[in-house]
Amino acid sequence: MLQICRKKQAQLSRQYQQRTLAHAIIIQGIEGAGQGALAKWLIELLICQNPLSAINDPKNETISEACGQCKACLLRKTDNYPDHLLLNTENKTLGVDDIRRGNAFLEKTAHLGKVKTILIPQAQVMTIAAANALLKTLEEPSANSYIVLITDDLDSLLPTIVSRCAVYAIRPMIGEALLTQLNVSNYGDIQLSSSSTLAKKENDTAYINLSHLPELTDKIIYQEFQTFNQYFLDYLVNGQSEDKLLSQIVDNKHSLRWLEKIICNLIREYYLVNATGKALLVAEQQISVQALNQIYQAIINSNKLIKSHIQANRQFVGEQLLMTINEIVRSSI
């Protein structure tokens, strides 16, 4: 995975060697793009007492690496290194108490090494109060301290947080999994009770981009998407599976993006099929392309609401979205 990030490694190594590395860093990218691996490499480098350097061919750029043998590296491998703190959460949000714990950690003198490090692997789930608590630390950083934040959604972070961090965006290579998926129907495994043309997609109508990387590279997530897709089309076409769909919207972090993806594919197909196909799609499903566009806008608005308010009631937003979709579909009949 680090092969994807070699340019960022070279850039960060150069700043590390020149002692110009920012004290607060955001590593941003699509889930699965390699930001976790890059953050791990950087933390290990900062902790290491005897870092090594290697030439990154073909550009002859020097990449710094942790030695893996010093006392600090060995303690880090066993998660017993005292001067590093992982601020993770099993809850849906990272709260202000978690950030305050991090702030208190940075205020103390390092036990073993020269620096103290904090890693926040899901920065996008910080509450507003937590983000404001972190902001104070970013404005008045402790000496010899580094904070590394990872996010797959930079827009969900407060602009004031982003402005005080160095941001490194990771873009994954378009790999074999993505290219293979371009030749696979997104709806091939779905069996609807209706003879709907929505369940009989042609391969060339599938719309894929790099935001779809999780379901393209993880079989479990792909199966989850297939199930979600079936629930949504069943709700859209037949008005069924509402409870199952709502549960997915509330609990699955990919759900709103998947809604956008499915609707985009339906709209795209509408404009790609011939006139007869268009008439069949509208006549059989009684869903116009205008209705699909309205549904897409409703999904976008719900997504913006959740992103702009990390503590937004996802259950309520999901219920309102499904009600809106239902009204749009039924009014188009």
pLDDT in tens, 102-153: 999 998 888 887 899 999 998 988 988 999 999 989 988 888 899 999 998 8
Task: Give the least confident one: 35-44, 128-137, 160-169, 215-224.
Answer: 215-224
**Residue range 202-240, pLDDT digits in tens:** 334 455 566 777 777 778 888 999 999 999 988 988 888
Average pLDDT of span 63-87: 93
- Among the ranges given (34-48, 54-68, 197-211, 276-290), the one the predictor scored with the smallest mean pLDDT: 197-211
In this structure, the answer to whether residues 262 and 126 fall within a common structural domain is: no
Stretch 184-209: mean pLDDT, rounded? 42
Residue 314 has a pLDDT of 83
Domain co-membership, 126 together with 191? no
For residue 145, what pLDDT is reported?
Answer: 93
Which position has the higher pLDDT, 112 or 163?
163
User: How many Cβ atoms sit within 10 Å of the Cβ of residue 266?
Assistant: 23
* Residues in Cβ contact with 211 at an 8 Å cutoff, skipping those fewer than 6 apart: 30, 257
* Domain match, 67 and 158 both: yes
Q: Rounded CA gap, 305 and 294, in Å?
A: 17
Q: Which residue has the higher pLDDT, 195 or 5?
A: 5
Q: Among 120, 135, 170, which residue terminates a domain?
A: 170
Using CA atoms, how far apart are residues 41 and 35, in angstroms rounded to an integer? 10
Q: Which of 80-84, 117-121, 219-223, 275-279 has the lowest mean pLDDT?
A: 275-279
Distance from the Cα of residue 207 to its chain's centroid: 19
Give the mean pLDDT of 249-272.
84
Percent of the residues in the chain that have a pLDDT greater than 90, as a whole number: 40
**29 and 127 share one domain:** yes
Better pLDDT: 313 or 150? 150
At residue 170, φ and ψ (nearest 5 deg) are -105, 125
Range of the domain at 87: 2-170
Q: Of the candidates 149, 170, 191, which is a domain's last residue? A: 170
Burial 212-229 (b: 16+ CB within 10 A, else e): bbbbbbeeebbebbbebb
- Number of domains present in the structure of the chain: 2
Are 147 and 188 found together in one domain? no
Size of the chain, expressed as the number of residues it contains? 333
Q: Tell me what the mean pLDDT of segment 243-267 comes to.
A: 89
Residues 165 and 181 in one domain: no
* 80 shares a domain with 39: yes
Query: Do 40 and 166 have their domain in common?
Result: yes
Question: For tokens 């827009």, what's the residue?
Answer: 155
* Average confidence score pLDDT of the chain: 80
- pLDDT confidence bin for 3, thresholds 50/70/90: low
Greater confidence (310 vs 268) lies with 268
CATH of the domain at 143: 3.40.50.300
- Among the candidates 112, 141, 170, a domain finishes at 170
